[in-house]
Structure 1
Amino acid sequence: MTEAEERPRKRQARGERRIAQLLRAAASVFCAEGYTASSTNAIAREAGVSPGTLYQFFPNKEAIAVELGSRLVAEMEATHGRVFTVENALLPLDELIDAVADPFIEFNCANPAFLALIKGPDAPGKVAEGHDELHAALLTRLIELLAVREPDLHPDDRDQLAQMSFAMFKAGLDLVVQHEGEQREWYVREVKAMLYRYLEPHLGAGAVTRDTVPAP
């Protein structure tokens, strides 16, 4: 590669690093102040750059939120692709709950801006749309997992079971993210215990054996 060809690649790499820096700063500001109260000046200050530098990459706060939201949704989609599997569906119920819940708890605790953005009353429409699409995809995968685990469930019962389980988990997740240390661990245990008590009468407690199972 010639020197002339290398220069644009270096500029592109520097630009990507700056964008990542600004998005990290935005995540911190959105969490601390909420989306509505946040400003581009506060984000630039958090990133340690001038507002002019920020505007080289993003025209306004909404554009920052949309980019941050799209990246977080993509990460979450990658997470659910790893957990809603046939192998997990057949585990003992407590292990199944661990296998599905833990990656989502870990993701949301590491990225509190995700909940801060989607719960903001004035969050950009594209952020809300991305969340709605993700919600629908997660619910579909959960329904498919339940079908593998307990194929004799009536489709209506399976859908309602998935809806209720998902709602319970999301409500508990809010409390988990809001706390730290031992309190967070306590809420995690309680969320899992709640799910176990709800699901056990429908799915059983033990591991499930299937000679052949449909792929979720």
Structure 2
Amino acid sequence: MPEKAEKALKPEEPKQPRRQARGERRIAQLLQAAANVFCANGYTAASTNAIAREAHVSPGTLYQYFPNKEAIAIELGERLMHEMREAHGQAFTPRNLELPLPELLDVVVDPMIEFNCENPVFLALMHGSEIPGRIAEEHDALHASLLTRVQEVIAHYAPATPADERARVADMTFAIFKGGLGLILAAPQGPERDATVTELKNALLRYLSPLTAAPVTAPRTR
């Protein structure tokens, strides 16, 4: 058979990897647009048309990847929670538990603040009204996991603390962090935000130090 005929009969190289890469880029583009819209308007007021406009695509293009707003929120929420689990998984380690309390606060609080500053949609989506039930369930599980980690920290520094008191202290610690985080996100990026981060660490340190009998030493400034 002539060489040209053999080439004509030879099947074309598969294009699936290229199509998959292009599809992943489009999904990332849509998710970033959704994050912007959810931050600006909240989940309830957001619409697929607004997300498509933000992504500079037609609604028809959006529907090729997501059937509705809920599907977009679920995909975005799952990716964010995966990143959050990785962030606090790297912070709450046995090695870090050997640090003095002020230094432990640095290695735990800093990555969690960094994550939320880089992903402001996390709070907007996770604490908005009418969020999809699947996201709410996964967020509740993540929240419970974080509280468990905080209780483990308290047990390490104050092993004589009863379990019910550890639970209350963990709840209060998380509430202080969440309140301070809102102030941090509202502060202008730069010296003002850095100062607010330091104030949050000071508040946590002064709350936890009496329980752990650790001397109150101001944490490092940013």
Q: Which residue of 2 aligns with 1:116?
A: 124
Matches within 5 A, 1:33-182: 33-181=41-189, 182=191
CA RMSD of aligned residues (A): 1.6
CA distance in 1, matches of 2:13, 2:139: 39
Give the number of the structure with larger relative contact order, counting CA–CA contacts within 8 Å between residues 6 or more apart. Answer: 1
Report if aligned partners of 1:83, 1:99 keep a CA contact under 8 Å in 2: yes
Amino acid at match of 1:156: D
- Higher alpha-carbon deviation: 140-149 or 3-12: 3-12
- Unaligned runs of 5+ residues in structure 2 are 1-9, 216-222
Q: Which residue of 2 aligns with 1:192?
A: 201
- Aligned residue pairs total 205
Identity rate of aligned residues, in percent? Answer: 59
Amino acid at match of 1:35: Y
- Higher alpha-carbon deviation: 147-156 or 104-113: 147-156
- Give the TM-score normalised by structure 2: 0.87
Report if aligned partners of 1:76, 1:107 keep a CA contact under 8 Å in 2: yes
CA distance in 2, matches of 1:90, 1:53: 52
- Higher alpha-carbon deviation: 6-15 or 21-30: 6-15
Q: Which residue of 2 aligns with 1:24?
A: 32
CA distance in 1, matches of 2:154, 2:93: 10
Q: Hey, which bits of structure 1, 4+ residues long, moved more than 4 A?
A: 2-5
CA distance in 2, matches of 1:154, 1:5: 66
CA distance in 2, matches of 1:96, 1:43: 40
Larger Rg belongs to:
2
CA separation of 1:180/1:6 partners in 2, compared to 1, >3 Å: closer, same or farther? farther
CA distance in 1, matches of 2:14, 2:142: 38
